[in-house]
Amino acid sequence: MKAAITLRDYELLSAHLDGQLAPAETQALLARLDAEPQLAAALASLTKVRALLRRAPQRRVPRSFMLTPQQAGQRSGLGAWSGFNFASAIAALTLIFVLVTDFSVNGLPTPLTARAPEAVMMMAEAPQAESYDAGEAAGNGPANPVETLALENTAADETRMAEEPSLKEAPLTLTGWVAYNAPVLEALLASLAVIAGLLAWHHRRR
Amino acid sequence: MNEEQWIKDAQAGDLDAFNRLVISYQGLAYNVAYRLLGDDASAQDATQDAFISAYRNLRSYKGGSFKAWLLRIVTNGSYDELRRQKRRPQLPLEPEPLDGEDAPDPAWMADPGESPAELAERVELNAAIQRCLNQLEDEFRTAVVLIDVQGMDYSEAAEIVKRPLGTVKSRLARARSRMQECLQGFAELLPDKFRLTGEGKP
């Protein structure tokens, strides 16, 4: 007879109680139970514990746990709200950026169409002047009406720059770069705002 | 009960169908949460959270036992709550009863056919069982709650806790052994036929 019951014995007894032992294991255990009263007592004890636990009363449900539409839709509502907030934030930042850019470059917000010719002329200034010089030196004059217009605008710009030296000597700064690329940047940011809006709409639909 | 159809409808967004599932399983879910957590308020929260989580993740249910899938959410939620309680233990606003049990509230256990003495005995017995369950490690408690208290079979319990059958068997054996030791301390509360001898402790 064994002096103490091991954990392994307890596992066997517990599985035997629930009919979880293989037939051969059951036979072996039954033989031991006949020979080891302590093991048999342990089985009796475990049987009582199991019976007691199975008698443990079930609590009555204190309330209904059915979901309300709000509980069910909480996540999608929150997602849409978050998406909406995110899109709004992007749109607002875009607007602020465009306004700040306008103010810092032009002093006041001006329509894109009003500034575009200036930007185009700033971009085209140097090469056109060279071509004009070269053409004039060769005695050829302006090649077409566009060139004529460009030459006239260049002349006007030179006059303006002579009156405002700060324009002529302005170094290439971030502000200058932004002003130079303003139309592209504005189009890019506007597209971003539209995409953000579409995303918000998509989230809401979901 | 056409559970499969309710699940399909619920997966398609039919809240009424899901609520039929809630009605079918809320008793089981609440009782498992209650036995794992040991108090009513936490069990209610865990049960409600589990159903909300189940509804939101219903598309991840790919068949098999819905009961096991749902109870896995309940047990995982209860483990989270237990961890949270361990990190931030809360002191009750009112002093605890001397025996350390919840204030007696036998109304939920009342059985029209039993005498006040029998009711009192059952209330005390239930408190003793819960106290012993509370002393077990979480995974042992889960095994004994699912298999002995809720009467599930080993394979169902293994599916719920996502552990091999052998692990569940071993945990259950240890849990029963510890419950036996603990319940011996409440011997005077136990009906005669359940009195434990105390022999053969490992």
**DSSP states of B69-101:** HHHHHHHHHHHHHHHHHHHS----SSPPPTTSS
Decide which of A45 and A98 is more confident.
Answer: A45
Residue A156 structure tokens? 């006007």
The confidence band for A199, taking pLDDT boundaries of 50, 70 and 90, is confident
Q: What is the mean pLDDT of residues B184-199?
A: 69
Tokens of B15: 């809240």
B65 versus A203: which is more confidently predicted?
B65
Query: Of A63-77, A111-125, B67-81, where does the model show the most confidence?
Result: B67-81
> Which range among A159-163, B117-121, B141-145 shows the weakest confidence by mean pLDDT?
A159-163
Sign of CA dihedral A203, A204, A206, B2: positive
pLDDT value, residue B194: 66
d(CA B123, CA B121): 5
Query: Mind telling me how many Å the CA of B80 is from chain A's nearest CA?
Result: 20
Partner-chain contact B23 A66, CB within 8 Å: yes
Task: Give the range with max mean pLDDT: A6-10, A156-160, A183-187.
Answer: A6-10
Domain regions of chain A by residue span:
7-54, 75-205
User: With the CA atoms of B33, B34, B37 and B42 taken in that order, what torsion angle do they form, in degrees rounded to the nearest 10?
Assistant: 90
**Residue ranges of B 6-45 with Cβ closer than 8 A to chain A:** 15, 18-19, 22-23, 26-27, 29-31, 34-35, 40, 44
Question: Which residues of chain B make contact with A39, given a CB cutoff of 8 A?
Answer: 200
Is some CB atom of chain B closer than 8 A to the CB atom of A47?
Answer: no
> Is B193 part of the contact surface with chain A (CB cutoff 8 Å)?
yes
Q: What are the chain A neighbours of B198 within 8 Å (beta carbons)?
A: 45
First-to-last C-alpha distance (Å) of chain A: 70
- Statement: residue A161 has pLDDT above 70: no
Q: Is pLDDT above 50 for A49?
A: yes
Of the candidates A123, A107, A112, the one whose C-alpha atom is nearest the C-alpha of residue A184 is: A112
Is B75 a residue whose pLDDT tops 50? yes
Put simply, whether B169 touches A (Cβ < 8 Å) is: yes
Structure confidence at residue B160 (pLDDT): 96
Q: Which of A129-138, A175-184, B157-166 has the lowest mean pLDDT?
A: A129-138
**ipTM score of complex:** 0.81
Instruction: Please give the Cα distance from B139 to B162 (Å, whole number).
Output: 11
Q: What pLDDT, on a 0 to 100 scale, did the predictor assign at position A203?
A: 64
Residue among B29, B176, B193 whose CB faces A49 most closely: B176
A140, amino acid identity: N
Q: What's the mean pLDDT in A189-194?
A: 80
A 155-184 near B (Cβ less than 8 A): none
In this prediction, residues B119-134 reach a mean pLDDT of 87
Smallest Cα distance from B117 to chain A, Å: 16
How much is the pLDDT for A150? 52
Domains of chain B: 1-89 (1.10.1740.10), 97-202 (1.10.10.10)
User: Please, which residues have CB within 8 angstroms of residue B125's CB and are 6 or more apart in sequence?
Assistant: A52, A55, B186, B189, B190, B191
Task: Indicate the pLDDT class of residue B106, thresholds 50, 70 and 90.
Answer: low
pLDDT of A204 higher than 70: no
Instruction: With a cut of 50, say whether residue B93 has pLDDT above it.
Output: yes
**pLDDT at site B179:** 95
